[in-house]
Amino acid sequence: MKSILKDTNNSEKLLNMVSDTLILMDKDGVCVDIAVHNVDLWFLKEEKLLGKNLLTMLPPRTYSEFYPEFRKVLLRKVKSTRNYELTLRDETYFFKCIMQPYGDLILCQYRDITERSQRKLELENKNRELFEIQKAALIGSWFYDTSSQEFSYVGQTGVMCTDMTQNIRVDAYLDTILPEDRASFNDWLTANLKGDMEESIDYRILFNGKIYYIRLKAFARECYKDGNITLEGYIQNITDIQQKRNDINLLTHAINNSTEDIFAAHEDGSLIFANRQFMLHHNLGSTEDITQLKIYEIQSYAQNKEKWQEMVTNVKNGERQQTFTMYNPLPLRPDILAYECNAYWVTSDEGIGTFWAFGRDVSQRILHEQQIKRFNQILDKIIEHLPAGIVVKDIKNKFKYLYRNRESYNRDVPMQEAQGRDDFDFYPLETAKEKRRQDMEIASTGQEMHWITEERDGHGNPLFLDKRKMKIESKDFSPILLNIEWDITDMELMRRELMVAKEKAETSDQLKSAFLANMSHEIRTPLNAIVGFSRIIAESDNTEERKSYYEIVEANNERLLQLINEILDLSKIEAGIVEFSIATVRLHPLCKEIHDAHVFRCPTGVELIFEPSDEEISIASDKNRIFQVISNLIGNAFKFTTQGSISYGYRREGENIVFHVTDTGTGIAPEKIGKVFERFVKANNFAQGTGLGLAICKTIIERLGGNISVTSELDKGTTFTFTLPANAAQEEDKEMLKNALEGNEWTADEQSVIAESTESTPATPPKDTAMKTILIAEDTDSNYILTKAILGKEYHLERAKDGMEAVNMFVEINPDIILMDMKMPNLGGLDATKIIRELSPTVPIIALTAFAYDHDRKAAFDAGCNDFLTKPFTQEGLKETIKRWVKEK
């Protein structure tokens, strides 16, 4: 048969059917001929390429790959076969170009492989995707041949499998499987070899010291005539899946053993899940189907449907956890005080939302918090009433206050205002700077500071503080600064009083020694004369001589008796056992008696003068004691006056009678004039006497309600002046005084003040328009008597026996000032003060009470009192306080 393919007549036809496009280029790349076969591309047209330089028409990327091959074929006369990518008009084409020398020209065979290249790329992409899927899913493939008893495997399981096919005998593979899983693996393999390939198998292997979970599944089985069987399938590493499943089981176990209530419910309240603690708290059995229950039907976390819907809405709108506290959440469990709950809205992959809640029993915490609050309140009260200012500062936070109690001296700042602020917010700049300097020094050195300072309180009274500053460090909190200021005012004042008393005692001891020495001299001198002249009298026969000796003995007897009486008088008066006989005393006859008694004892060259005085003046006092005082002063003048006169008399000055005794004697030295009324002090140590006379005079005058003073000038003379109240006491006051004294344990000073004033002051003196009126609200007679005794000479007094009477009397008499007792029947002092304050905001009211604590003082000021005095009070303190407020008014 004639060959068709070799027939030259058929060559063009065959070339058109099977050949590539042929392009003939010269050495410069110009197309000199072209024959297009089996391709229909817009750029492969004879009219477009013939005569054109094809190298310049190639895109840069294609040119960079094509031109080196073109030069190689041209210069070396070798053949080149390569695939190229050609991008034209945003379209990418692939072609294979076979270049070979053709004389001085180059023949290029162009074959379009675009479709094949795209399929290859797609296949490569698929393979790449499959590889990534296998890698992500930890999957590989396996093959088993019964003839070789070997497993072949390849893939991305992450254990044993790699990119390269590996082989392992079945008995060696069984050694990697955990012993307890080998039997099930053999059974599965046998079943698959028989044709039962429905089930997969999960088992564990030990590889590189670690346990992995493996899953095998066969999907192809071949049986051969020689009896050989092959299995093919996939292998997967399911370790992560199994561990997550184990984690879920563990989590479920943990949730069931949690001490919190945990539950999940649909939006309508239907329960989905509840842990063991929830079931226990709500009396639900472990086998009970909770999905048939609504959360609000079992009265848990929501008492009704409306409350449940409100809770769900709040959690959903929050788009995150909702934290809240439920008090007494379980009516059947009163021991559970509260639940602290966290609620979440969780949306599943299917878009279904569920309500999850975790409830923790916080009863113990609440009990502890209540106990801590109780202890804190107790400690706050204790600290509040301590006489100490306590300040705690945060060193790391610029020394701002962490705590400051109410009694931080000179700065009455409440804790709520102080917290988070510092000294510069409350103190003057210089004071705050000094405090900050101390704080920084202690914070840096850690050395405690301790000092005592004297300051002034809000009323200007002295205030002594014992101050300590220290740094406190701990691992549990940042360093703090503790400042403690103890109020040691009372202790310091007592210490100073004791020092003064000690000095007085030492001085008294010295004076006593001097007194005893003086007494020894004073007593021995008359005794010497008495004893000596008594013997001489016994031996003398001369009557005149014996008479003169008798006079000397008599004078010394009188002198000795006077010494003894002065000593006994002072001791009795100071002990408060001397009785004062108060009666009406006419002063003119008394002074005449004194003149008659002393005129004949007046020293030679000295005249005793009773100056003319008002003969009608009478006072209520002790006549004998007045006689004693004036006689003592005149007798004292006798000792120091050698010429001139000694005059005495009296006159009325207001509410007092002023007495004086004036001499023209030697006078008293200025350094001694302030001490002449002290015991055992003598202005002249060479003069006779005990040094007690003037001390006795002072005591008597003060007991009679007056005072005594002295003025003197050396070599010119001395004047002693004393005053006594001019008013006479009435019988009504004496009876009241007697009853009060019988029912109260008065001190000697208080008895003397009451006795003196009551004897000398009328019970209800007529109101003088010049005298200020004091309303005294006092239910106890004795307290009123004492107050009246102190104030009755200078003020007009009115008394109310309870708070209601005080209010009524205030409206009637409009007093200048009120002394208000706090505890009274019918209406207390605080309530009475509040009522009076509504009637008059200006009248001074002084609290006069036995309640002496700080809170009593604060209550009095809050009620409207202007000042506060505590019982027992001093005469001076009461008088000064009243004068201050009456003057201010």
* Portion of the chain with pLDDT greater than 70, in percent: 83
Within a domain: 495: no
**Do 52 and 142 belong together in one domain?**
no
Backbone conformation region of residue 826, classed left if phi is above 0, alpha if psi is from -120 to 50, else beta = left
Domain edge (last residue) among 85, 112, 139? 112
| Alpha carbon of residue 719 to chain centroid | 67
Within a domain: 205: yes
- Which pLDDT value is given to residue 12? 60
Q: Looking at the 3D structure of the chain, how many domains does it have?
A: 7
Within a domain: 629: yes
85 contacts: CB under 8 Å, gap ≥ 6: 61, 62, 92, 93, 94
Q: Which segment, 24-38, 294-308, 405-419, is predicted with the most confidence on average?
A: 24-38
- Which pLDDT value is given to residue 647? 94
pLDDT digits (tens, 9 = 90+) for 444-466: 998 998 888 887 776 778 888 88
> Mean pLDDT across the stretch 737-749?
48
- Which pLDDT value is given to residue 382? 74
- Which pLDDT value is given to residue 134? 66
Buried/exposed 652-685: b ≥16 CB within 10 Å, e otherwise? eeebbbbbbbbbbbbbbeeeebeebbbbbbbbee
Q: Which residues pair with 204 in a beta bridge?
A: 213
Structure tokens at 199: 């089930």
pLDDT digits (tens, 9 = 90+) for 185-220: 999 999 999 988 888 899 999 988 888 999 999 988
**Do 749 and 784 belong together in one domain?**
yes
Average pLDDT along the chain? 81
**Do 708 and 604 belong together in one domain?**
yes
**Do 401 and 329 belong together in one domain?**
no
Task: State whether residue 96 is helix, strand or coil.
Answer: strand
Residue numbers of the domain that contains 411: 386-487
Burial of 539 (0-12, 13-18, 19+ CB in 10 A): exposed
The greatest distance separating any two alpha carbons of the chain, rounded to the nearest whole angstrom, comes to 221
**Do 36 and 17 belong together in one domain?**
yes
Give residue 742's identity as a one-letter amino acid code: E
**Do 229 and 297 belong together in one domain?**
no
Within a domain: 854: yes
**Do 140 and 208 belong together in one domain?**
yes
**Do 483 and 630 belong together in one domain?**
no
pTM strictly above 0.75 = no
Within a domain: 807: yes
Domain edge (last residue) among 201, 220, 243? 243
Instruction: Report how far residue 660's alpha carbon sits from residue 640's, in angstroms, rounded to the nearest whole number.
Output: 17
**Do 831 and 866 belong together in one domain?**
yes
Q: Are 4 and 10 in contact (CB under 8 A)?
A: yes
**Do 432 and 505 belong together in one domain?**
no
**Do 153 and 292 belong together in one domain?**
no
* Through-space distance between the first and last CA atoms of the chain, rounded to whole angstroms: 157
Check pLDDT > 60 for residue 867.
Answer: yes
Within a domain: 249: no
Check pLDDT > 90 for residue 776.
Answer: yes
pLDDT digits (tens, 9 = 90+) for 77-90: 999 999 888 888 88
- Which pLDDT value is given to residue 279? 85
Give residue 586's identity as a one-letter amino acid code: R
**Do 635 and 703 belong together in one domain?**
yes
- Which pLDDT value is given to residue 230? 93
- Which pLDDT value is given to residue 833? 94
Domain edge (last residue) among 366, 394, 421? 366
Residue 90 sits in a domain whose CATH number is: 3.30.450.20
Query: What one-character-per-residue DSSP string does 771-802 give?
Result: SPEEEEE-S-HHHHHHHHHHHTTTSEEEEESS
Handedness of CA 189, 191, 193, 196 (dihedral sign): negative
Within a domain: 250: no
Within a domain: 380: no
Instruction: Report how far residue 723's alpha carbon sits from residue 728's, in angstroms, rounded to the nearest whole number.
Output: 15
